[in-house]
Amino acid sequence: MAEIRLKSTGTIKLFENDNTSSVTIASPASLGADRTVTLPDADVTLVSGTMSTGFAVTDITGQTALGATPADTDEFVLSDAGVLKRVDYSYLKTSNTPAFSSYLANNTSQAISDGVLTKVTLNTEWFDSDSTFDNSTNYRFTCPAGGAGQYLFCWQIFLYAANTSSNIEYVNTKLYKNGSAFIGTDMDYRDNEPRSVVIGNSVILDIADADYFELYGLVKQNSGSPSFYGGDRQTYFSGMRLST
């Protein structure tokens, strides 16, 4: 049979009946006031070791610097309506991807028919973060799975007359969405016909997964077959996600 003894020092000891061993509950060096220990309303098994009095500030503020951008699977602890939860960095970071920038190869021309709205064969890329722009077959940007959100698109076409004459009457650029004209920009020069025109626009759109976008242009001139020109990379189409 074990017995509990209260010592004059203020400690409590649980002795074996043969006095050969004991468990001591020690009091602080100076109580200063009464202390209460509340036991749970259930069976509790104590294990060996040292009980912690809690975290020190140095334990929770981080003594070691990460020294690099967190990995997507690095975790943070935060309070969600008072409940502590852990969350991966991938849910917290801001990323402006997918992002791409494509253009008609420098100093090359794409022949087009007069007065016919034609897709621009944007066959070269500066970058394409998620391989979302097809620069070899369909010449389009396609929003990938999980990529939906608000996007900024900007585009420009260098429209060129068929010969050295200044005979461009009318030009137009259009951003197509899912196979149909969506946004257009046009200029009418029939009172003062130029030889070449650079025209473009930009827009912010809310798009969904699998939406796709293509760049089209049109030149109406007096005679001959005009072209899109890639001189100084002035024919391009770029885009990036701003937010989810």
Q: What is the pLDDT of residues 89-115, one digit of tens each?
A: 877 777 789 999 999 999 899 999 999
99-243 is classed in which CATH architecture? Sandwich (2.60)
The percent of residues in the chain predicted with pLDDT above 90, rounded, is: 49
Strands 168-177 and 83-88: unpaired
Per residue in 116-159, pLDDT tens?
999 999 999 999 999 999 999 999 999 999 999 999 999 999 99
When pLDDT is averaged across residues 10-27 and rounded to a whole number, the result is 69
CA 183, CA 173: separation in Å to the nearest integer? Answer: 8
Domain boundaries, the chain: 3-67, 99-243
pLDDT at 29 (0 to 100): 62
As a whole number, mean pLDDT of residues 210-232 equals 91
Q: What percent of the chain has pLDDT over 70?
A: 78
**pLDDT above 90 (res 75):** no
In 3D, which of 112, 89, 126 has the Cα closest to residue 159?
A: 112
In this prediction, residue 27 carries a pLDDT of: 65
Pairing outcome for strands 212-221 and 196-207: unpaired
Q: Specify the pTM.
A: 0.66
235/159 Cα distance (integer angstroms):
9
The reported pLDDT for the residue numbered 147 is 94
pLDDT in tens, 150-203: 999 999 999 988 776 788 999 999 999 999 999 999 999 888 888 889 999 999
pLDDT of residue 105: 95
- Residue linked to tokens 């509990």: 4
User: Taking 70 as the threshold, does the pLDDT of residue 235 lie above it?
Assistant: yes
pLDDT at 54: 59
Confidence of residue 8 (pLDDT cuts 50, 70, 90): low
